[in-house]
Every structure is written in structure tokens, then in C-alpha cells.
Amino acid sequence: MGRARVELQGKVVAITGGARGIGFEIARACASAGMKVMIADLDEAAVQHAITELGSGVVGRVVDVRNDHEFAAFLEAAESELGGLDVLVNNAGLLKMGPLVSASHDDIRLQLDVNLAAVITGTQLALQLFVPRGRGHIVNMASSSSMIATANGAVYSATKYGVLGLTRAVRGELRGTDVRITAVMPGVIRTRMTTDFRSAFSVRTIEPAEVGKAVVRALRKGTPEVFVPSEVGMQGLLFTALPARASDWVKHLTRADKVMS
């Protein structure tokens, strides 16, 4: 039997990277669902602009998710200012495109720290709040790159594979409890991150608002894994199920290996 549908009205959600792009649209969707929202972002001006755009019920803080103390203080602020945290969305992330052979140490380290290490930190901090209470929901933003590794995005793909593995492992640890964890795997979303992407066969570019709506649906239903758009799931299964040479050939044929060029 499936879990009962969750009522989101009045629930408290904290969203990292919430001032722009997908994070902003997740915040908008959560606020529209009646949730109390706290966003975190590194850019103070962007945080203030987002709060103004999103309206009442949304607050924000300047947070560097690479700093464990700042991350913990962000969740503590959501607890104290909004009345107890119900949901954490680990959304903050970045992409540095290019072949691995010429990637700088700083760019590699930055992606590892923001896209993976900070998600591990946030997940652990949220679990330390949720497990004793016996409730709560963590949403980790993975990517279609969690299943479809793309040339010129090797480090990004590695971090997103890691986020998916983390989320699946923790889901096993939470079996039998009412604490939920969800991996969201967007495809190509129209944000600043994907401005330079090339087109590929059967790959749609969709608006970030669609991801926001999908996250809210997952919060209501407790869905463990979400693909946006839905066909990303089938594509991912295809690429992971095929033998390596066949998978590489299909990527080349569909130009999936040229998206991050």
C-alpha cells in the first residue's frame, strides 16, 4: 500500500540555491501550496530580489552551503523563525563544462563541494532533526546526468551519480519510518546553467517551473524518484541497461554526448 497523501498547508520548507532558476521555482511552487518557505543563496542581492518576487511567507538567508556551520545555522533559523522544519530541498548546484583533461583544480573542487559534499551535509543535518521526530522529507536534486553521463560534464556527472547513490542508500536506512527522501532528476531545464547546451534527439528543454510543480507533487505523494520531464526516466534506464559500447553508440547517434559542448 502507498503512503497517505501529505497536506502541505503550513508546512515549513528550507531550499538551498533558492534565489534563482530551479530553486526559485521550487520556492514559488511551495509557497503557492501554502508552505512557509526559507531560501538560502550565496548572493545577498539575489536573495532579497527573490523574497520580494515571492511575497509574504518567504524569508531568506545568505548561506554558503560548503560551510557546515552556515548550513546548520540555516536549518536552525528555519526551525526557530518558521516553527519547525518539515522539508529540506538540497538544490544548490553548479556546472563547469569542458573536457576533464583541461579542468582546473578549483573548478573540480567547487563542483564536488557544492553538488555532492553539501548535499551529504544537508541530508545528515536534516536527518538529525527528522529521525528523532519520526517525520520529515528530504528532496535531493540529482540530474539526468545521474544516469546519463555526458561528455564534457565528467565531474558534474560524477557528483550527480553520487547524489542519486546517496539518496537511494539513505532511503534504505529510512525503511519502516515516516521520514521520506526523494531524488529529483531534471533533464535539460531552461536556466542560466544550460544556456550553452546543444540540442539532442528526443531531448526536450522545459521550463524550471515544471520542476517546481514536480517537487510539490513528490512532497504530497512521497514519491521516491522523480524525472522531469517523465521521458528522462526511460532514457536513463536505456543508457544504463545497454552494454557499454552500445550505450556509447546510442549517445553518439542521438547527440547526447554533444549536449555539454
58 Ramachandran zone, left/alpha/beta (phi>0; psi -120 to 50):
beta
Q: DSSP character for 42?
A: S
Provide CB contacts within 8 A for 68, sequence distance 6+: 121
Asked if 161 is an active-site residue, the reply is no
| Catalytic residue of the set 24, 130, 156, 239 | 156
Residue 50 carries which side chain, given as an amino acid letter? A
Q: 98, exposed or middle or buried, with CB in 10 Å at 0-12, 13-18, 19+? A: middle
Q: Are 208 and 24 in contact (CB under 8 A)?
A: yes
Provide CB contacts within 8 A for 72, sequence distance 6+: 125
Provide CB contacts within 8 A for 28, sequence distance 6+: 54, 209, 212
Q: Are 153 and 95 in contact (CB under 8 A)?
A: yes
55 Ramachandran zone, left/alpha/beta (phi>0; psi -120 to 50):
left
Q: What is the distance between the terminal CA atoms of the chain, rounded to a whole angstrom?
A: 45
The C-alpha cell that represents 224 in the structure block: 521516491
Cα gap 209→26, rounded to integer Å: 7
CB count within 10 Å of CB 24 equals 25
Q: Comparing C-alpha atoms, which of 229, 208, 241 is closest to residue 19?
A: 208
Active site positions, annotated: 156
